[in-house]
Structures are given as C-alpha cells and as structure tokens.
Amino acid sequence: MRLGEGVEWGLHCCVTLAWLEQEWPVPTGRLAAWFDLPPEYLKKRLQALTRAGILASVPGVRGGFSLARPPERITLMDVVAAVEGPVEPFRCQEIRQRGVSGLGAASEFRRACGIATAMRRAELAWRRELAAQTIADLMAAAPAASAERTRRRYAQMGG
Amino acid sequence: MRLGEGVEWGLHCCVTLAWLEQEWPVPTGRLAAWFDLPPEYLKKRLQALTRAGILASVPGVRGGFSLARPPERITLMDVVAAVEGPVEPFRCQEIRQRGVSGLGAASEFRRACGIATAMRRAELAWRRELAAQTIADLMAAAPAASAERTRRRYAQMGG
DNA sequence: GCTTGTATACTCGGATACAAAATGTCCGAGTTCTACGGG
DNA sequence: CCCGTAGAACTCGGACATTTTGTATCCGAGTATACAAGC
C-alpha cells in the first residue's frame, strides 16, 4: 500500500498558503519553485484540491490559488481525500460468496463479512486520526521561525 | 490509496486453513477452487505468506500449505505486511528541504517534518488496530455454523 | 508374499508477460494588464 | 493630458503520453506414491 506523493505536496502547499495569506492568490509556478516540483503536475493536484473546495482558484494574469477556508477548518483527512480520490484501503470483493465456499450459505451472508469489518475498523482509526488534525495544527507545530522566514523569502523571489 | 486484493485472499485462506487443521497440508488448487480465484496467482501470494513465516509449505504430491503458528498468534498486521511488503502509506520525500523552501533553514530540519509526524501518527493508529486482532478473533466472529460447514464441504470436494 | 528400485504424477518455487494506475506533459479558454489611438 | 479600446501575455482547466506498480501466467526443481521386477 502506498499513498501518492501528491499528498505531501498538497499538505505543504496548504501550510505555505496559510502563511502567505497576505500574498493571495499565489500562482502554481511560485509554489513549484518553492519546493522544486514539476509545475504542471503540481497544478493538476492543486486543481483536485480546488474541486474539493479546499483551495480557491483565480484565473487570469494575476491569478493563482488561495485557501478557501481558514486553516482551522481544513483537516488532513480533507486534503488526503481530495488528492487521492475516494480513499478505501481495503475493498471487500466478497470472495466468501464465490466458488465452493459460497454454496448453500446464503443465510450467513446476511451478516457483513467479518474480515471486511475488521479491516474497516483499522481504516476508521486511521481516518479518525487524520480528521483530528488541521492545517492550523501543522502551523503551530512548525518551528517558530518558519512562518516569518517563509514570508520574507517569498517576497525576495521577486515579481 | 488502495490495498491489493491479495490481502483479502490471504486472510480468508488463513481462516479457512485454521478450520481445516485436520486436512493439512491443503494444496493451492483446493483453496483456489474454494474461493474461485486464479490458482497460479493465489499461489504466488501464499508463497509470500510462507516467506513471512505465517504459513508452512510442503512440496511433493501430497503437499500444500498449513498454518505455521496457532491462529491466536497471527495478527492481521502480520498478514497485511506479508502480502503487501513493507507497508508505509505516507512516504515523506522531504520536499521542505528542496527549492527555495530549503534555503538557509538547516537548523529547522534537525527536527522531523511536522507533516510526516502527523501522517505517521495516523498510520500507527491503523497498524495498532490491525495488530490487535488475530485470525482466532476472525474465527470467533464468524457465524457458528461456518467452521463445521467448511469442514463438511471440503470433505465432499473429493480427493 | 515381501522387499526394493524406478518411473510417474503432482506439488511448490521463482522467472517471465500483460494490464491498470499513477506520474508527467501538452494545448485550449479566460482574464487582466498594457499600449496605442482618439478626444 | 485623459479616456477608451484593442491586443498581448499570463493564468487556470481539462485532455493526452509515459513510466511504474500490480496482476496474471509459464516453466523448472523436488518429493511421495504406485507399480513392477527380483528375492
């Protein structure tokens, strides 16, 4: 199992955008140069965040992206779900109903598959942890100097 | 994010093997027919479980697979890790150190990335839930008639 | 009839093709700024 | 000198290739069985 790298990109971009609130909107090219990422592909992922209502986009020559909600109201689960699409680590195929195993046991299948239930329990614990943390929490956990340094360096980038 | 279907196969096979303890070893062909799965590919996954020390394999004409440990000592985490390989949903690429973002902030990077920490916290919650449940728990949660029906039908398969 | 040797059929084990998804790239639609012409 | 208008540059948005991962399959190594021959 592996989570796409776009998740890391999206989270870092959200935190950076929160720190650069004064500079909104921020174009993709700036964010790509900021983290040395492929600009076009990063844009694709930011679009996904926009479709999910986490970012807001402005077209045109002075356009770019900005946060659509205050950082306190954007959870890590929101970002992961937006970038990865419908997240469902374990997908029960109901193989218990197939082959010899499924013959003459219809009554047992009215109850949910115990394996699917167990896997889903773990998935819910994961989602709960992600939903309990917000972009604001990440900002608070970062070194104190990060926010100020980010704003200063961004201004130095020129434009 | 998506977990390979081999996880479901592996878990169902472990439970079934536990119920069929009297019939060990059980060849791949039987298990494949049991759940209507591609035999060769299922074998590949059972080999992974064998390499991890969860199953034991016996070659030869009367060979097959059996549980290498009692069901109480096989956790869901063991099976998932064996089938999926090194499971690490979020893989921090340290993009914070790249591009403009990483200039002149070496001191901040001595501390772990807050985003990686947050994601890992969720991953650990997931692993904890998986490690807390065993194959024996799945057997206990299954309908009471399942074990007996499995043994009876397996005997009827012939051989 | 019993033992022994050999051939055979069936099993696991790893190396090899195929398909799907994630990654990366490209072109088109829209908006703002700028420059030029007119008043 | 000021205003209006038209052009151009820059941005987002979605559609199109390429690489990586997961899925599926094939052939080779090894072992217990069954059969036949010899004692």
Q: Which of A138, A94, A93, A125 is nearest to B132 (CA)?
A: A125
**Interval B2-24: pLDDT, tens:** 899 999 999 999 999 999 999 99
pLDDT of B159 above 80: no
| Residue A153 CB partners (closer than 8 Å, separation 6+) | B100, B101, B103
Contact at CB, B99 and A157, closer than 8 angstroms? no
Distance from the A151 Cα atom to the nearest Cα atom in chain B, whole angstroms? 11
Q: Return the pLDDT at A159.
A: 59
Task: Indicate whether B158 pLDDT > 80.
Answer: no
Q: What is the pLDDT of residues B103-156, one digit of tens each?
A: 988 999 999 999 999 999 999 999 999 999 999 999 999 999 999 999 999 998
Who's near B10: CB < 8 A, 6+ residues apart?
Answer: B45, B46, B48, B49, B79, B82, B83
Chain B residues with CB inside 8 Å of A142's CB? 114
| Section B35-64 average pLDDT | 95
- Distance in Å, residue A49 CA to nucleotide D10 C1': 22
Task: Report pTM.
Answer: 0.93
Q: Token pair for residue A118?
A: 């167990």
Q: What is the mean pLDDT of residues B67-84?
A: 97
Closest Cα in chain B to A113: B142
| Weakest mean pLDDT among A32-41, B10-19, B83-92 | B83-92
Find residues whose C-beta atom lies within 7 angstroms of strand C. A 4-6, 38, 40-41, 43-44, 59-63, 85; B 2, 25, 27-29, 40, 43-44, 46-47, 50-51, 57-65
Which of A36, A87, A138 is the closest to B115 by Cβ?
Answer: A138
CA quadruple A119, A120, A125, A129: dihedral, nearest 10:
120
**Which nucleotide's C1' sits nearest to the alpha carbon of A63?**
D11
Residue B150: predicted pLDDT: 95
**What is the average pLDDT score of chain B?**
94
The pLDDT of A25-53, averaged and rounded, is: 96
Concatenated DSSP letters of A42-64: HHHHHHHHHHTTSEEEE-STT-E
Judge: A145–B76 Cβ closer than 8 Å, yes or no: no
**Residues of chain B with C-beta less than 8 angstroms from the C-beta of A104:** 149
Mean residue pLDDT of chain A comes to 95
Give yes or no for residue A37 having a pLDDT over 80.
yes
Chain B CB contacts of A146 below 8 Å? 105, 108
Residue (of B16, B3, B133, B17) closest to B75 by Cα position? B133
Give the rounded percent of residues in chain A with a pLDDT score beyond 70.
99
pLDDT tier, A39 (very low <50, low <70, confident <90, very high otherwise)? very high
Please provide the distance, in angstroms rounded to a whole number, between the alpha carbons at the two ends of chain A. 41
What is the C-alpha separation between A103 and A97, in angstroms, rounded?
Answer: 8
pLDDT tens per residue across span A57-94: 999 999 999 999 999 999 999 999 999 988 889 999 99
